[in-house]
A and B are shown apart, each in its own frame.
Chain A
Amino acid sequence: MLFAAPAMLLFATFVLLPLGASVYYAFTFWDGFSAPRWAGFANFARALTDPTFLMSFVHVVFYIAATLIFEVTFGLVMAVLLNSDRRGFSLMRGMFFAPVVLSMSAAGVLWKFVLDYRTGLLNSTLRSVGLGDWAQPWLAQPETALLFICIVSGWKYAGFYMVIFFAALRRIPRNLYEAARLDGANGVQQFTAITLPMLKQNVIVCILLAVTGGFAGFDLFFTMTNGQPFGATEVPATWIIKQAFDQNQIGYGVALTVVLTVVVSLISIAYLKISERGNVTRY
């Protein structure tokens, strides 16, 4: 018990205590300085009618859907493509994974340059191949800003999922493929009949990671656009921080965090329940 005490104490003080305090503050009007006043469900009622907050969930769902494509699916494709013992592949896997170790803020600042209207890599490439008309201020217009944040997120994290799927691919017994080849299965058939079913459990874990991570998404949004242009990239985390620290509405901000926590927990639990029913062992 003594051995578990330091960890439990630290965890209780800096995770559980603020979590409990959040639940209390969520029911108060509080500017963070004077004494909190009891508010009942007023903050929650306001949250449900706060158009920006509701839209932030639409944005984050779009973001999560995009990460499932740009991160998980693309990572899986790259794992298959980079799965070779030939010379050069090890280096390519290392390079593909490299963005994962960078900070989101560094990735965000770098990609603001890549997407810069005048001097960015993307627009310069378009201009140099004669498609200069297509050049756009990608992060400054509402129609493209969110999509490009999703693409940057994909650039940053596809390597993470690639590594997980790659390790899983290596665990599939080779003789399964040999048997399939003898039966006349082609590459695509081998992929759908052997590879995908064998990776099922990894896919479930990866989707869970992408969904819970997506809801908590903050760093990239804050660094690249901080909700701009015109709120087109506002996600729950950025909006919550603005409410609490720019508007001094601690009570309301905390209520929003409670809503976010409940949503994430419910989705995770439901997802794990559903995947369990599919006869899959939980990780």
Chain B
Amino acid sequence: MSRATERRRNAAEWLQFGTAGVIVLVMFYPAIWMVYSSFKSNREIFRAPFALPSQWRWENLVEAWNVGGLGTLYFNSVFVTLVAVSMCVLFATAAAFAFTRLEFPGRKLMYRILLIGLLLPPPSVAIALFTQLRDMHLLNTPWALILPGAAWQLAFTVFLMRAYFISIRPDMEEAARLDGANTWEIFWHVSVPMVWPAMLTMVVLNTISVWNELLFALLFITDDAQRTLPVGLVRFSGYHSTDYSLVFAALTITTVPILILYFILQRHVIAGLTATAMD
């Protein structure tokens, strides 16, 4: 974005830079404070909340990892997110393909019904879903989070994938059909490669949602071995509410990898979110 041959900034631009800089730094500071506090002892945290640690206690992180069973939480979160997101994006792409490229009775109606999901808040079915999952014997299994997780992201994913399909002319698909390809081949070999960028965007956005999901995870999983990170973190901070350095360490372990991943994928995340609210 910035060029080496920039003309010099005038006073207004310096003012803009300074104001923005101060606001952004003040708002970002809690994250930095969290990271270095996790290396302090409790006594240091109480005596001098602002100060850097006198010695960097890596053992805090090790202890939090072991005491909190963070390895299990990470594994469960990765598994649930991976399966739910793949399922959702694949199903949504197929549905968007059907809604825009194929003719069949009830096409409009199906899409309309799906759109209900856009405005419906998850708490509105949480209780009924709980009893339903119990009757299906899915409580306390990863599927209690995967299936509803994927289902609740569908409306929004289909909505955006459909918009993307509409923005591309169906010429390629029609040409393939004239060449004698069947619908299945057209979908896999023509459409999917074309809408791939949109699918990746949806993967990124759905990953953020599913990874951070709290309500369903709280209600549908009561077995410690099956818990995911958000609930695990809340419970951990509740159990160890007086052990500040331990909770800081757990927070750091669970958020810093996400932040690093975000800064690497920043462009995709922001492009995706922008597309969401602009179309």
Give residues in A with beta carbon < 8 Å to B: 1-4, 6-8, 10-11, 13-19, 21-22, 25, 32, 78, 81-82, 84-90, 92, 94-106, 108-114, 118-121, 124, 128, 155, 160, 163-164, 167-168, 202, 205-206, 209, 212, 215-216, 218-219, 222-223, 236-237, 240-241, 244-245, 250, 253-254, 257-258, 260-261, 264-265, 268, 283
B94 touches A7 (CB 8 A): yes
Residues of B within 8 A of A209 (CB): 277
Other A-B pairs, 12, CB within 8 Å; known A7-B95, A209-B277: A1-B98, A10-B147, A11-B154, A16-B116, A22-B127, A85-B1, A86-B2, A88-B21, A96-B28, A97-B270, A114-B33, A264-B124
Complex contacts, A237 vs chain B, CB 8 Å: 121, 123, 215
User: Which of B120, B212, B277 sits near A261, CB closer than 8 Å?
Assistant: B120
- Complex alpha-carbon distance, A161 and B38, angstroms: 31
Interchain CA distance A15-B150 in the complex, whole Å: 10
Whether A92 touches B27, Cβ cut-off 8 Å, given contacts A14-B151, A206-B277, is: no
The answer to whether A102 touches B21 (Cβ under 8 A) is no
B36 within 8 A of A: no
Residue of B nearest to A187 (CB): B12
The 4 lowest CB-CB distance pairs between A and B, nearest first, are A216-B121, A14-B151, A103-B212, A7-B95
CA distance A6 to B94 in the complex (A): 8
Name B216-271 residues within 8 Å CB distance of A.
Answer: 218-219, 229-231, 233-234, 237, 244, 247-248, 251, 254-255, 258-259, 262-263, 266, 269-270
Q: B123-137 interface mask toward A, CB cutoff 8 Å, 1 = contact, 0 = none?
A: 111111111100000
Closest to A262 in B: B124
Scoring A18, A95, A167, A261 by chain B CB atoms within 10 A of each residue's CB, the highest score goes to A18
Contact B125 A18, beta carbon cutoff 8 Å: yes
Task: Looking at the assembled complex, report how far the CB atom of B104 sits from the nearest CB atom of chain A, in whole angstroms.
Answer: 4
Give which listed residue, A7, A14, A223, A260, contacts B158 with CB less than 8 A.
A7
Most A Cβ at <10 Å: residue of B17, B91, B244, B277: B277
A220's closest neighbor in chain B, by CB?
A: B214
28 contacts across the A-B interface (CB closer than 8 A):
A1-B102, A1-B105, A3-B94, A4-B95, A4-B107, A6-B94, A7-B154, A8-B114, A11-B114, A11-B154, A81-B16, A84-B17, A88-B17, A102-B259, A103-B211, A103-B229, A105-B212, A105-B214, A119-B244, A164-B273, A215-B121, A216-B122, A216-B123, A240-B127, A250-B127, A264-B119, A264-B120, A283-B277
B147 near A85 with CB under 8 A, answer: no
Q: How far is the CA of A8 from the CA of B95 in the complex (A)?
A: 8
Contacts of B107 in A (CB 8 A): 4
| Pairwise interchain contact B97-A7, C-beta atoms closer than 8 A | no
Do A90 and B1 touch across chains, with their CB atoms under 8 A apart? yes
Main secondary structure of the interface of A (DSSP, over half): helix
Q: B124 near A261 (CB under 8 angstroms)?
A: yes
Residues of B within 8 A of A258 (CB): 124
Q: Which residues of B contact A254 (CB under 8 A)?
A: 127-128
Residues on B with C-beta less than 8 A from A111 are 30
Chain B neighbourhood of A18, CB < 8 A: 125, 128-129, 132
Whether the Cβ atoms of B20 and A78 lie closer than 8 Å is yes
B277 pairs with A87, CB closer than 8 A = no
B129 touches A102 (CB 8 A): no
Q: How distant is the Cα of A80 from the Cα of B274 in the complex, in angstroms? A: 16
Question: Is residue B74 contacting chain A, with contact meaning CB distance below 8 A?
Answer: no
| Distance of A171 from chain B, by nearest CB (Å) | 8
Q: Which residues of A contact B49 (CB under 8 A)?
A: 119-121, 124
